[in-house]
Amino acid sequence: MTVFSRQKITPVILAGGSGTRLWPLSRKSYPKQFVPLVGEETLFQSSAKRMVGAVGTMDFAAPVVLTNSDFRFIVTEQLAEAGIDPGAIMIEPEGRNTAPAVLAAALHAQAKDPQAILLVSPSDHVIPDGDSFRAAVEAGLAAVAQGNLVTFGITPDRPETGYGYLELTGTPSGTDPVALKRFVEKPDAARAAEMLAAGTYLWNAGIFLFRAADIIAAFETHAPDLIPPVQASVTEAQPDLGFLRLDPTAWAGAKDISIDYAVMEKAGNLSVVPFSAGWSDLGGWDAVWREGARDENGVGLSGAATAIDCEDSLLRSDSDRLEVVGIGLKNIMAVAMNDAVLVADMSCAQDVKKAVDALKAKKSQQATHFPKDHRPWGWFESLVVGARFQVKRIHVHPGAALSLQSHFHRSEHWIVVEGTARVTIDDEVTLVTENQSVYIPLGSVHRMENPGKVPMVLIEVQTGSYVGEDDIVRYEDIYSRGQGEKG
């Protein structure tokens, strides 16, 4: 009987990005990886669930997630919903692109296991066939054992101009690793058609498999300036609740550069595993349209959307209060939310980021802020905002609590509409149930908690001279947030 040695693979999930090409659904405060764009799960959850358990000769370890401080509680909440316990959640003090993030994960993993093998993946890609993906990962292990850095190339099915390409030294066969000849930047349409016909070019998926020791050695050779700041940021990292905060002073000295530019385009020991079972980075609404369900006329509908005599279009409403109706549309994408609507020709999918830039120039909050503001205890959304008042809907998870706080410029009325709230006002603690209300005077030290087993929802009416989110003094907080962090 043949006995195969099992390989432990540590997934490294990069979840700190903020895509703009899927505006208005994806915004800086709540980017696309945390949104259920295709199917019921978010892209982040689907990415994590692709890399769990035992498969073939592989055992997937608990994932290492790199994200930023604003997303840390979203990451933990969505992992918990997916039934995944992370090995580590590393907090980047600021975005520095993928090279420092991958190096930090490698240094962290090698300190725990000198033989660690890492599978580095973005958190916002769609790979419908998880079994085929895991088989491709297993196919790359032989190259990893020889000290190679493995990347995954997607078999192209069209002359795509939105992706970078990998030129191989030969024609790919199945999932057998092929040596990489060179990286190719995003081509124009004519060049993309030539590469598709050649059969030796694959799309660059930005997914990697290697030993931690080998990628660290590659950094030492090709990007040695990154080693000192990133090593120091890992060495000086501080635990914070369930997170590991990289040292901000050291991290600030790391160059902002991608893993491709820093290492991969310079390394000579790269192998490519071909993958042809379906993949998309959902880099625009045209990609969402292609990956989603469509009717016989090529129309994709999502949410409260209706199409009449439409062809090859995407109609989507992510608001239960806003119906989107298209009549006689062709090659159009229309995406609606409570606070913003995008309508464009499908051919302009890559230009959506221009809309975000234009809104930023107008200082419009729709450019970056999501209608629902997610917090570690739940979320809220503003329903009405006036000169001296604001009305919010607040959702508090079971067992969660807001910080003990006070305000200088506003008083608040709370009306519980679902569940039960435990309310602290100065020295008094009371239970407020459905259809009951409570008044919070200006300056009172107060807190709301959900002591129950179901979500608690209340309507908050704020009145005062200033109703901004930064009017807060925080006295106690179970999430260890500072005065500068959101409430």
- pLDDT tens, 320-342? 889 999 999 999 999 999 899 99
Q: What is the mean pLDDT of residues 89-103?
A: 95
Q: Say if residue 2's pLDDT is above 50.
A: no
Given phi > 0 = left and psi -120 to 50 = alpha, else beta, which region is 391? beta
Q: What is the four-CA torsion angle of 100, 101, 104, 109, rounded to 10 degrees?
A: -140
Q: What is the four-CA torsion angle of 13, 77, 245, 102, rounded to 10 degrees?
A: 0
Q: What is the mean pLDDT of residues 136-162?
A: 93
Q: What is the pTM of this model?
A: 0.89
Query: Are the CB atoms for 234 and 66 separated by under 8 Å?
Result: no
Burial of 28 (0-12, 13-18, 19+ CB in 10 A): middle
Read off the DSSP letter of residue 76.
Answer: H
Q: pLDDT band at residue 65, thresholds of 50, 70 and 90? A: very high
Type of residue numbered 373: D
Q: Say if residue 242's pLDDT is above 90.
A: no
- Give CA–CA dist 475/487, Å, rounded: 11
Nearest to 43, CA basis, from 326, 288, 266: 288
Q: Say if residue 285's pLDDT is above 70.
A: yes
pLDDT, residue 296, reads 96
